[in-house]
Amino acid sequence: MSQRPYVIDEMISAKSIAARIEALSHEIAAEFKDTEQLLVVGLLRGSFVFIADLVRELDLPVEVDFLEVSSYGDGMESSREVRILKDLRGQIEGRDVLVVEDIVDTGFTLSRVVSFLSARDPARLRTIALLDKPSRREVDVTADWTGFVIPDEFVVGYGIDYAQRNRNLPFIGKVRFPDEPQP
């Protein structure tokens, strides 16, 4: 696939991400300390690296499941219409559930997923997002835990893609087009 040339500037280092996940894992473990087995639900595909690091820091009995939702396609804009492409394998009624999202941008995805899962009567449903871009919000939703609040920049790395590329970068970087005038 041909792609307009772009460069990636590091925004959040792998070390900062690891330190933040460690801190968040203590807060989450405290919240769910009486839970028999926490069901951690990753939203595919962007959260796969985050969930892998998060569950290894969580000092709790956990089970992992995944939900796949439609997102940006190959562009840089939210489709706003969020479809469930792959449902969970297990039941969540009466269970404690933590939804793991990569980025909350317009908020359509997280709010749709929360309503979709709440309808199944989990005991507790909490959410965590690695990144939050509050300036882009169109739906009033905030994750219960957020790794980093970032400005309105298109980012890649640490599981997050641009047209399916750059998910394997160990850090979060912002995409920049050298042929565009800088502000």
Which residues bind to ligand IMP, rule: CB under 6 A?
Answer: 46, 71-72, 78, 101-110, 154-155, 160
Cα distance between residue 30 and residue 157, in whole Å = 29
Quick count: other Cβ atoms within 10 Å of Cβ 89? 9
- Residue closer to ligand IMP (CB basis): 92 or 143: 143
Least distance from C-beta 154 to ligand IMP, angstroms?
4
Contact 99, 117 (CB under 8 A): yes
Q: Can 105 be counted among the known catalytic residues?
A: yes
- Residue closer to ligand IMP (CB basis): 120 or 137: 137
Least distance from C-beta 93 to ligand IMP, angstroms?
26
Burial readout 127-136 (b: 16 or more C-beta within 10 A, e: otherwise): bbbbbbbeee
- Residue closer to ligand IMP (CB basis): 60 or 103: 103
The catalytically annotated residue of 105, 121, 152, 179 is: 105
Active site residues: 105
